[in-house]
Structure 1
Amino acid sequence: MTAAEIARLAGVGRAAVSNWRRRHPDFPRPVGGTDASPTFALDEVESWLRAQGKIAELPLLERAWQLVDTLRDPAGHAAAPLVEAGALLLLLHRAPARWAELADQPDTRLATALPRAVADTAVHTLGPDAPRDLRLPHLLGSTQLDLARLLAALAAQAGPAGAYEQLLTRHTEANSRQLSPTPPEAARLLAAVAGVPATVLDPAAGLGAVLLAHPPTTGRYGQDADPVAAALARLRLALHTPAEDPGPLPLDLRTGDALRADAYPGDTFEAVLCQPPYNERDWGHDELQFDTRWPGGLVPPRGESELAWVLHCLARTRPGGLAALLLPPTVAARRAGRRIRAELLRSGALRAVIALPAGAAPPYGVPLHLWVLRAPRPGDDFRQVLLVDAGAAGSAGTSAGPSTGPATAAAPEGGRDRVDWPALHRTVLDAWRGFDLAAREGLPVPADRPGVHRAMAAIDLLDDETDLSPARHVPPAAPVGGAAELSHLSGRLAELLAGLADPATLLPQAGPAVPGAGAGAGAGTVGVVTVGELVRGGALEVYSSGTGVATRPAGADPGGTPVVTDQDLAADAPPSAVLAAATGPAGDVRTRPGDVLVPALGGGTARVVPAEGPLVGAALGRQLHLLRPDPAVLDPEFLAGQFRSTAGTRRAASHATTTARLDIRRVELPRLPLPAQHHLGAAFARLAAFDSTLTRAATLARTLTQAATDALATGTLAPPEA
């Protein structure tokens, strides 16, 4: 296992593993890899971590994943062992009694009997060609048998489908540069737009996320250029189908490039949904010049592979059926694709272009568009297009602190963990369903909603550019409030500014300094003590979150357990996320009043958890330290103030290639009696409150000035008299 996997196993950052290697002579020696990326023996690492008290027992998932990785052929496909693991889990899912009969057999018998049982289950579930398509082995070795037993134990904990999801997640994380699967939330949005079709096709199925978003009663068809990915998707869908459903299941996933080697020529489906590959130059432009999928002989330009996928999906959609694709925003505006976009408008096929917030699907830094099309049918003369700008509605902003008004939220930031999926679903589906109903029933289209959506006649979009970007056509939202709300914001800002203390009262006064207060800089009359020494002496507990817990935006579950992040600390804001699961991992730490939160990257930020408020009981997001002082020895405000000081943390900084980190245990504190700590901590607390109020006032001032600017620009309000 690599250093990164050791860090994941112990719940720490990679820097901690590097420190262990330097400081502990008994840390396991590398057994492979390179000097820059060494690998270590799993059993040696497990024994060392257990001896150090860093783990009680190696989790089942980690042990299973390491065996899967051991079975990987360096010259073969990285995910090939997961096909075999999925087939074993399918046996546990569909025929648990047969596994129970085999589980106690000696290895010599199990090595041949288990492959037969797995093959029989695959044939019954997926059809007679399944063992060949999945390339199932006829004989199992000792490592494969060990994996089978571990998978049985893991399935007993999480269920066969849950166990497979965990393995697939580990695979995608380990190969994040090569894989970019569609997130389940985005897949569910595509499925919700399509409704409940009888048949659905995903011609770029990947790991089957889009097909998985549909119920097992839907006929699910797919294609992928990677035969191993197609096998994984097939097994994944079978594992999520109830075990009592008779086989063979209505699942059909084929291999091949859908543009060059369409696996369903001539077939049509009620819905065709996908997130196709982007920016492909070699998608088959030259050999597909006369393909029947191009309407009116319009061949997509070489640089418009995404439009080739749009036309392919439309060609596989039966008349009146729906196609939906996640596409980069440039597809709506690139000049090279203007003629194809114009043809989609003239034919009435293109029905909606929906701008999503950044972070909805990979690439996560790009705000993708959702294109919705209906295959034309005779007599359908509907020629309008719905343009939706759902970027703001689906972005989970971070509050700028306590608020008495409706407009003190900071501007929303894009990001994978900052998409408010419930709000995004509501915005998109409310707009689309009303528009689609009007199109199908001949009713008036819904009224425009400024800042969110607008319905336009197709002819009004046909010009020299045929730019379909929603932001260009959706009318801007009405500015905040008008005169009454601007007055409210102004009053709230005045209150915050009036509540600021006189800076002179916060400044250090002339006179004798607190003894030892400058110890972090090397001054003072008393000694210093490091955080590590305080931990060893029992005066302080330190918890590090490492990669943190799985989260989702706070708006997705208002009643969920809050998760505080390093961005929340930097913005002096309440937690912006909640736990993705109902319960956190075993042994996770929740904040208590008096705890001190410090980002792993330092930056002069440290915050004391107050006696009440949203920070109490929060879980730790990634890259955070929690310090829990013994109040009989350490004052929390004193501790936080020392961490906010430049001198206190400068010597404890460590540097990677591009970032600086805070080595928490090397931070030095002055040795002061508790009364002196209280006195100094109170001064630190006053300064922190002053800074917090300034931050909230600055945020509110930006909101007020932007709202006033918008009101003047749109003519909602007149400028004040000179």
Structure 2
Amino acid sequence: SGQELYGQDSDPALAALTALRLALSTDAAVRIAAGDSLRADARTGLRADAALCHPPFNERNWGHDELAYDPRWEYGFPARTESELAWVQHALARVRDGGTVVVLMPPAAASRRSGRRVRADLLRRGALRAVIALPAGAAPPYNLPLHLWVLRRPERAPAQPGLLLADTGQFAGEGRGGPDWRSVRETVLDAWSAFDRTGRLDERPGPARCLPVIELLDDDVDLAPARHLPPPGATGDTGRLTEVRERLDETLRLTAELTPEPPAAKSAAPRRPLTTVGELARGGALVLRTGTNAGHARVPLLTDHDVLTGTGPSGTLPEGDEEPVLTEPGDVVVPVLGGGSVARVIDDATAGAALGRNLVLLRPDPAALDPWFLAGFLRGTANHRRASSHASTATRLDVRRLQLPRLPLDAQRGYGDRFRALDEFERALRLAGRLGEQLVRGMYDGLTDGTVAPG
């Protein structure tokens, strides 16, 4: 194809894995080196068309002292605490004039005072073209809304340089398995395409705008999109708030309908013969499988966090040689770490996902076990306590030791119907909580920005 792909990583194993994955997925010539890219750059003469970089964040030992006079610092020598700005300049030094650089950055790098001089020079010379705030959960660390910096090695100084600022935080997942990537992609590409074509972006309501560089060159040179963009209109918009209120009313009515009846007068617990999950597995009444670290299937990954929070599959299955365990309707999935009494019955919407780490899947024989009966008894607090072991920092569940009563299938289904109703009630409560949070947040935003009257 005539294309060449170059890369470097300080970890030899990751460098080799990267080379293998690229070789399997492209016809381009792949050349991956192992070594510290800042201290021991293997491609000093390279001038690529484009560069991608995911640097280590907050790295103090990046070579500040020994690299003080390195020619890569065209935009200023980064402070010891600004390792990310060193990586930005390293990537710019390895592309041709007009070449594009995309770097994943921590949000603090857009506003730390120790980096304002370098940020200012990147702006003045037209190298920094866009700062895009991603939704929280896009990449590790998942609790932070990371930024994408889009840069271009300047061929000539622009007459009126501008910076595209975009914030896609409104597309963060509301308990539905991660960010809405389709909306993120469409929003960012629409704004970037218009900005890259004309050097400006027409003023319009939305999560993106173009600011003249002169407006950003103050004492702080703060490039965080949230500082310069209006808050998303959805939270304070009265029409949106009315819709959330109506959904909340409907959910609360459903929750009231699903509220379990109070139990009858307390009676002595019946003595029932018990069995364990391990015994059922040995007898063929169910199949027990554990989650994998990698696989070759291109399917969503069901994580232990998804099971604990009741959300859809949010993970991505890393490539590997292992055979992934794919979920089917009626499977029961149990997390083994954390100490919570949770068991989830897989429905049609979740079926087909790969089973993630720290999860155990139980596939009952429908002629012998009702899945809701199985899941319900596995959630008993005393049952979990007996089957758990405790280390110094974690609790681990031995699923094979979990107990449940030996009952005929008809009796199991009676329990299963009750457990299913409890699950519907629990899911309605979760939804009501999320909608209530949206309504409260929207009312605060609306009252403070003037879109909602206090009367």
Shift of 1:466: 1.1
2:190 aligned with 1:430, yes or no? yes
Correspondence for 2:213: 458
Residues 644 and 316 of structure 1: is their aligned pair in 2 closer, same or farther, counting only changes over 3 Å?
closer
Which whole-Å deviations, capped at 9, do the CAs of 1:108-139 have from their partners, x for residues lacking one? xxxxxxxxxxxxxxxxxxxxxxxxxxxxxxxx
Check conservation: 2:160, 2:212, Cα contact below 8 A.
Answer: no
Check conservation: 1:642, 1:669, Cα contact below 8 A.
Answer: yes
- Equivalent residues in 2 for 1:118-517, closer than 5 Å: 216-221=1-6, 242=27, 259=38, 268-286=47-65, 288-295=67-74, 298-358=76-136, 360-361=138-139, 366-378=144-156, 380-393=158-171, 395-399=172-176, 418=178, 421-439=181-199, 444-450=200-206, 452-480=207-235, 482-501=237-256, 506-510=261-265
2:336 aligned with 1:590, yes or no? no
Shift of 1:493: 2.0
Structure 1's unaligned 5+ residue stretches are: 1-215, 400-411, 413-417, 519-523, 553-559
Shift of 1:666: 1.6
2:290 aligned with 1:535, yes or no? no
Residues 586 and 361 of structure 1: is their aligned pair in 2 closer, same or farther, counting only changes over 3 Å?
closer
Check conservation: 2:33, 2:42, Cα contact below 8 A.
Answer: yes
- Equivalent residues in 2 for 1:557-636, closer than 5 Å: 564-576=302-314, 588-593=325-330, 595-601=331-337, 603-609=340-346, 613-616=348-351, 619-631=354-366, 633-636=368-371
Q: Distance in 1 between matches of 2:16 and 2:299?
A: 37
Check conservation: 2:291, 2:324, Cα contact below 8 A.
Answer: no
Which whole-Å deviations, capped at 9, do the CAs of 1:14-44 have from their partners, x for residues lacking one? xxxxxxxxxxxxxxxxxxxxxxxxxxxxxxx
Q: Which has the higher strand share?
A: 2
Check conservation: 2:162, 2:211, Cα contact below 8 A.
Answer: yes
Check conservation: 2:295, 2:322, Cα contact below 8 A.
Answer: no
Q: Distance in 2 between matches of 1:651 and 1:300?
A: 56
Partner amino acid, structure 2, of 1:649:
H
Correspondence for 2:441: 706
Partner amino acid, structure 1, of 2:229:
V
Which whole-Å deviations, capped at 9, do the CAs of 1:595-635 have from their partners, x for residues lacking one? 4333334622234456xx42455553433333344555544
Residues 477 and 672 of structure 1: is their aligned pair in 2 closer, same or farther, counting only changes over 3 Å?
same
Q: Distance in 2 between matches of 1:313 and 1:579?
A: 29
Shift of 1:482: 3.4
Q: Distance in 2 between matches of 1:227 and 1:646?
A: 46
Which whole-Å deviations, capped at 9, do the CAs of 1:215-251 have from their partners, x for residues lacking one? x433545566778977886777666664xx9xxx6x6
Q: Distance in 1 between matches of 2:220 and 2:265?
A: 69
Higher relative contact order (CA 8 A, sep 6+): 2
Q: Distance in 2 between matches of 1:639 and 1:429?
A: 47
Q: Distance in 2 between matches of 1:566 and 1:368?
A: 23
Check conservation: 2:329, 2:346, Cα contact below 8 A.
Answer: yes
Which whole-Å deviations, capped at 9, do the CAs of 1:264-286 have from their partners, x for residues lacking one? 66774443443345444454544
Partner amino acid, structure 2, of 1:700:
L
Residues 591 and 335 of structure 1: is their aligned pair in 2 closer, same or farther, counting only changes over 3 Å?
same
Check conservation: 1:575, 1:614, Cα contact below 8 A.
Answer: no
Shift of 1:317: 4.1
Q: Please, which moves more after superposition, 560-569 or 487-496?
A: 560-569
Which whole-Å deviations, capped at 9, do the CAs of 1:325-346 have from their partners, x for residues lacking one? 3333322222122112112222
Partner amino acid, structure 2, of 1:603:
G
Shift of 1:536: 3.3
- When the two chains are superposed, the root-mean-square deviation of aligned CA atoms in Å is 4.0
Q: Distance in 2 between matches of 1:551 and 1:289?
A: 45
Check conservation: 1:479, 1:711, Cα contact below 8 A.
Answer: no
Shift of 1:541: 0.4
Correspondence for 2:398: 663
Q: Please, which moves more after superposition, 490-499 or 477-486?
A: 477-486
Q: Distance in 2 between matches of 1:232 and 1:586?
A: 19
Q: Distance in 2 between matches of 1:372 and 1:487?
A: 38
Check conservation: 2:102, 2:151, Cα contact below 8 A.
Answer: yes
Residues 550 and 490 of structure 1: is their aligned pair in 2 closer, same or farther, counting only changes over 3 Å?
farther
Partner amino acid, structure 1, of 2:158:
D
**Larger radius of gyration, structure 1 or 2?**
1
Q: Distance in 1 between matches of 2:384 and 2:13?
A: 50
SS state at 1:373 partner: strand
Structure 2's unaligned 5+ residue stretches are: none
Correspondence for 2:432: 697
SS state at 1:651 partner: helix
Which whole-Å deviations, capped at 9, do the CAs of 1:695-719 have from their partners, x for residues lacking one? 2222222222222222222222212
Shift of 1:449: 4.7
Which whole-Å deviations, capped at 9, do the CAs of 1:521-561 have from their partners, x for residues lacking one? xxx334322232333344x2032333366599xxxxxxx86
Select 1:641's aligned residue among 354, 376, 382. Answer: 376
TM value normalised by structure 1: 0.54
SS state at 1:625 partner: strand
Q: Distance in 1 between matches of 2:355 and 2:318?
A: 13
Q: Distance in 2 between matches of 1:667 and 1:361?
A: 35
Check conservation: 2:237, 2:451, Cα contact below 8 A.
Answer: yes
Residues 355 and 651 of structure 1: is their aligned pair in 2 closer, same or farther, counting only changes over 3 Å?
same
Shift of 1:437: 1.1
Residues 283 and 398 of structure 1: is their aligned pair in 2 closer, same or farther, counting only changes over 3 Å?
closer
Q: Distance in 2 between matches of 1:574 and 1:278?
A: 30
Residues 579 and 252 of structure 1: is their aligned pair in 2 closer, same or farther, counting only changes over 3 Å?
closer
Residues 512 and 391 of structure 1: is their aligned pair in 2 closer, same or farther, counting only changes over 3 Å?
closer
Which whole-Å deviations, capped at 9, do the CAs of 1:274-323 have from their partners, x for residues lacking one? 33454444545445555554448x43323333323333443444443333
Partner amino acid, structure 1, of 2:254:
G
Correspondence for 2:289: 544
Check conservation: 1:454, 1:475, Cα contact below 8 A.
Answer: no
Check conservation: 2:345, 2:375, Cα contact below 8 A.
Answer: yes
Check conservation: 1:223, 1:253, Cα contact below 8 A.
Answer: yes
Which whole-Å deviations, capped at 9, do the CAs of 1:189-238 have from their partners, x for residues lacking one? xxxxxxxxxxxxxxxxxxxxxxxxxxx43354556677897788677766
SS state at 1:301 partner: coil
Check conservation: 2:294, 2:324, Cα contact below 8 A.
Answer: no
Residues 308 and 715 of structure 1: is their aligned pair in 2 closer, same or farther, counting only changes over 3 Å?
same
Q: Which has the higher helix share?
A: 1
Check conservation: 1:551, 1:577, Cα contact below 8 A.
Answer: no
Q: Distance in 1 between matches of 2:91 and 2:56?
A: 13
Q: Distance in 2 between matches of 1:533 and 1:461?
A: 68
SS state at 2:275 partner: strand
Shift of 1:435: 0.9
Shift of 1:456: 0.9
Percent of paired sites with the same residue? 49
Q: Distance in 1 between matches of 2:277 and 2:32?
A: 57
